[in-house]
Amino acid sequence: MNALRVGLAGLGTVGGGVIAMLRDNADIIAARAGRAITVTAISARDRTRDRGFSTEGLAWHEDPMALASDPEVDVVVEVMGGSEGPARALVASSLAAGRPVVTANKALLAVHGAELAALSEKHGTSLAFEAAVAGGIPVIKALREGLAGNRISRVAGILNGTCNYILTVMREQGRDFADVLADAQRLGYAEADPAFDVNGIDAAHKLAILAALAFGRPVAFDAVHVEGIRAISAMDIAFARDFGFRIKLLGIARHDANGIAARVHPCLVPETAPIARVDGVFNAVVAEGDFVGRVMLEGRGAGAGPTASAVVADLIDIARDRFTPVWGAGSAALSQVPSVAMEQHVGAYYLRLMVTDRPGVIADVTAALRDAGVSLSSMLQRGRSAGEAVPVVLVTHETSEAAIRAALSRIATLDTVTEPPALIRIEPG
């Protein structure tokens, strides 16, 4: 059978990884794909840069859009990134030309996934994106195919390796966020501009994709509630440990009678939960299905190798003509379940205040909680030094987001409360 000819847009870390994998494992890949898979054309910004591999014999296009029409290309691999601009244009025009696309671009799928799925459907062309979520862990395939017969009630995960690395080092070394972030940047685990990662946007893109797949509904990035990890302190990590929890940035989507709630925020997770033990740059995704029960997948969420592994798996599917609709089902078969607003969230909360250590403080705080209908499961006050600010930690029973916010806004007005309170939701894992 003829080789599958790949046009590769983007020659950064991921593009280099794809080239290396197709070259190093050509024998295995040809066996599993039923034919050879070969890069025939590439496009990247700087032609002169030494990337550590030869581009001899490959067609070089200054404009990535040329890959959509190059007659020597059967499938386009887009690993440039960015939800707009060239990436979006290339993917859309390739699909419109009936040319299958493999992309690692979570932002593109999260923001323009509906429109791209429509193009894929109209032209009967694959749009594959295993690499967009959780790197080399085959989580897209697991949700879209492996667990496809299940009604999924919940999907949750550690979806951003940078955040998980920072939180892990903060916990292990008792250091604060800014300090660890600076280190992570030096080590290449965080970008020079880390906002996308540490503010939770990257995880939210991935969660939006997972939720669409898990629940069989159109992708809805705007409906994801997003909070990052900047406000997490070493003190809160230490207190969490005292209560038997670890702090993780989770993406969580749940489908219940009210609809679908999707949120990314730091969580206290019981240290006995499997996901609590997923540390460093590792990612993990948990799915709960009505027949399968709870399934967890864990592995490296980023980097050249894991991302290339996912891209090449998609190429093998395409080489074998294995077709799956973008969101697992055709657009007419997607569900139209409404999104649930964050205010309707119900759960337990960790609340840490800095208060002036004088009589009546705790009475004022607990009265505010009581009046909002929030009941406490435990409280911890550590260190006493009259007149100075000391931390007080409160853990609530299940309550509504609206109630805890009402209590918090009253607590924030107390003149004995010296700093904005830290509020972290508690999740089962």
Binding site for its own copies (CB under 8 A): 17, 20-22, 24-25, 28-34, 130, 135-138, 141-142, 144-151, 216, 274, 277, 289-300, 305-306, 308-310, 312-313, 315-317, 320-325, 328-330, 333-334
For the chain, how many helices (H) and strands (E)? 13, 17
Q: For residues 137 and 365, which CB has a smaller minimum distance to its own copies in the complex?
A: 137
Q: How far is the CB of 313 from its own copies (least distance, A)?
A: 5
Walk across the sheet containing 59-60 and list its strands. 59-60, 37-43, 4-9, 75-78, 101-103, 127-128
Q: For residues 102 and 355, which CB has a smaller minimum distance to its own copies in the complex?
A: 102
Q: How far is the CB of 21 from its own copies (least distance, A)?
A: 5
206 is catalytic: yes
Torsion angles phi and psi, residue 408, rounded to 5: -65, -40
Q: Which residue do the tokens 């509630």 mark?
A: 225
**What's the token pair of residue 378?**
């435990």
Choosing from 106, 141, 206, 248, the catalytic residue is 206
CA dist 392 and 369 (Å) reads 14
Q: How many beta carbons lie within 10 A of that of residue 122, not counting itself?
A: 12
Q: For residues 252 and 312, which CB has a smaller minimum distance to its own copies in the complex?
A: 312
Q: How far is the CB of 232 from its own copies (least distance, A)?
A: 24
Q: How far is the CB of 377 from its own copies (least distance, A)?
A: 26
Closest CA to 352 of 328, 331, 382, 308: 382
CA dist 263 and 157 (Å) reads 11
- How many alpha carbons lie under 13 Å from residue 292 in its C-beta half-sphere? 18
Torsion angles phi and psi, residue 368, rounded to 5: -65, -40
Q: How far is the CB of 293 from its own copies (least distance, A)?
A: 5
319: amino acid identity, one letter = A
Q: How far is the CB of 386 from its own copies (least distance, A)?
A: 43
Q: 147, 291 in Cβ contact below 8 A?
A: no
Q: For residues 228 and 289, which CB has a smaller minimum distance to its own copies in the complex?
A: 289
Q: For residues 206 and 225, which CB has a smaller minimum distance to its own copies in the complex?
A: 206
Planar angle of CA 11, 82, 324, nearest 5 degrees:
85
Q: How many beta carbons lie within 10 A of that of residue 329, not counting itself?
A: 16
Q: For residues 254 and 425, which CB has a smaller minimum distance to its own copies in the complex?
A: 254
Tell me the catalytic residues.
Answer: 206
